[in-house]
Structure 1
């Protein structure tokens, strides 16, 4: 890719998608291994989760009273293990893709082993940022639940005005606040890897970078969430609950296909958020010193070797 800062800052969603999908060809083996070891398990777990929980929930009503407590304990342990797995592989996938894209951008030698070696230190920074994001999402969820309760009370009291107001607030909270918070989180994750800030400082930097590109960021996040929702919905209807309408072989084939589609969606999503970081930097006329970025990336591997010249972002050479 040979894009000037002016071309980067004016990229459309289609242009960002095109640039993102072209990146893996510069190091196909590395991205293949990242996809196979990190993104595939993550995508498989997201869809296969309902295959295990659905039968447990369905059988809870048929269990004797003496076995109910044991079943609920098993379900809670399974849910906790699933969330822990999801959390770990989500951070690992983000760290691996962002680090690899940045290494390609700075013409740093790229390999799967070098990426995996850098992940432990990157992971610490992403974890701190994720904690702050979780705290923000808890505040959002609290407000969301309050208005959900207000809606239920309004319906029970047949208060049409209050019910409509609550519906509007819930709609805005989900389609605006939730999508914006997700966009803020994704960009803050990239900032945590590529800049010497993380946690609350990374969220603040992400907020600054999003200004002027908020609608574009929210549109891309909404498209991503919608695709994931459709894939999960089809998987649940056909594979999880479609036993009577589809044979085992058909469910396996369809399930495998949907997992593959989700893998592609997740990989492209991670690449898009990496490229979008450079787009935002260019939009705000913030020069990216390749020398400093190279040193920063090398620091994860103990390879601080300052370059003699300061190379600014004249071309986006990946």
Structure 2
């Protein structure tokens, strides 16, 4: 059943969180399937790789490079595929909940996802290139500043560069996150999706930043919790149970993040007085075609 959108633009921080909670609990069956089949495997691989890297770091340096490369490259492609499909499925599901009167099921959503995954892949790759370039640029600026102005980088110099870097990173991050939603729900990708995302967040920058910071603090907490409880001198079963536990928590965080990002998209569209149904008319058609 379609969910009302009349007052969505007036949702504040707590209203947004309540709306996300209501959606995930009301449609817990399909979101549980998305989490179990698409998101959980990504998180399990993530924590398993951390444990492997920790293990290999205790061995001789000559074997570390090849081991690390194999560990990173082998799971990269399947993890990327799962990430693209999980993002597409979660965003598409929330959009259908808001727009379609048809019953939303996991099977229907997954049949519609292939229509948008190519756009999302291009946006994902662009996001990665941008973040990599910014990180390299921040390091180069710090080094060049230190070489040209002082023999060694001072604490103030590093702090200034770090502050500018983090501020820009936070802003760019939620622009990129919303660009992923745009790529799924609109016929835009790459730089076009980024520009549309940048336009949409105007007027709601504070809300986007607050959600992004909280989500990443939760991510950091889960990551640290995993390192404390599931790494180091623990038994094999302790390591496996730790990976499973923290993978489940991380999966819930990622799912909630995707739901929240999609709702923010609707909030921003409403704020700019854009007709949400214009871009989403095809969702009903996609769901109907998927039943054929």
Q: 1:145 aligned to 2:145?
A: no
Counterpart in 2 of 1:285? Answer: 273
**Partner-residue secondary structure (3-state), 1:59:** coil
Structure 1 residues 153 and 86, CA, compared in 2 at 3 Å: closer, same or farther? farther
| Counterpart pick for 1:186 among 177, 190, 211 | 177
Aligned counterpart, 1:266: 254
Q: Which residue in the other structure is 1:40 paired with?
A: 40
Task: Show the 5 A alignment for 1:126-141.
Answer: 126-141=120-135
Q: 1:201 to 1:301 in 2, by over 3 A?
A: farther
1:39-79 deviation per Cα after TM superposition (whole angstroms, max 9, x unaligned): 11122222222111111121124xxxxxx35x532321211
Does the CA-based 8 Å contact 1:117-1:301 persist in structure 2? no
Listed as ranges, the matches of 1:173-212 within 5 Å are: 173-174=165-166, 176-212=167-203
The residue number in structure 1 matching 2:118 is 124
Pair 254,81 (structure 1): closer, same or farther in 2 beyond 3 Å:
closer
266-275 or 130-139, which moves further after superposition?
130-139
| Cα distance change, pair 295–3 in 1 and its aligned pair in 2 (3 A) | closer
TM-score for both structures, normalised by structure 1 = 0.81
SS at structure 2 position matched to 1:157? coil
Preserved contact between residue 142 and residue 161 of structure 2 (Cα < 8 Å): no
Give the aligned partner of residue 172 of structure 1: 164
- The structure-2 alpha-carbon separation of the partners of 1:277 and 1:164, relative to structure 1 and needing over 3 Å to count, comes to same
| Counterpart position of 1:56 | 56
Q: Establish whether residue 86 from structure 1 lines up as the match of residue 79 from structure 2.
A: yes
- Residue 211 of structure 2 aligns with which residue? 220
Q: Does 1:97 align with 2:67?
A: no
Deviation at 1:168, TM superposition (A): 1.2
Cα RMSD (Å) of the superposition?
Answer: 2.6
In our comparison, the structure showing a higher alpha carbon Rg is 1
1:77-116 Cα offsets, whole Å, 9 max, x none, are 2111233333222211110101111112122331111111
In 1, Cα distance between equivalents of 2:105 and 2:3: 22
After superposition, what is the alpha-carbon deviation per residue over 1:219-258, rounded to whole angstroms, capped at 9, x for unaligned? 21111111111111121122112x1xx6665555554332
Q: CA deviation at 1:259?
A: 2.2
1:12 and 2:12 are equivalent in the alignment: yes
Q: For residues 159 and 139 of structure 1, do their structure 2 counterparts lie closer, same or farther at Cα, with a shift above 3 Å needed?
A: closer
Q: 1:76 aligns with which of 69, 72, 75?
A: 69
> CA separation of 1:72/1:254 partners in 2, compared to 1, >3 Å: closer, same or farther?
closer
Secondary structure in structure 2 of the residue aligned to 1:289: helix
Count, aligned residues = 288
Mark the CA change 1:143 to 1:283 in structure 2 (over 3 Å): closer, same or farther: same
Which TM-score applies when normalising by structure 2? 0.88
Structure 1 residues 224 and 151, CA gap change in structure 2 (3 angstroms): farther
Structure 2, unpaired ranges of 5+:
none
Pair 129,254 (structure 1): closer, same or farther in 2 beyond 3 Å: closer
The answer on whether the counterparts of 2:108 and 2:287 sit within 8 Å (CA) in structure 1 is no
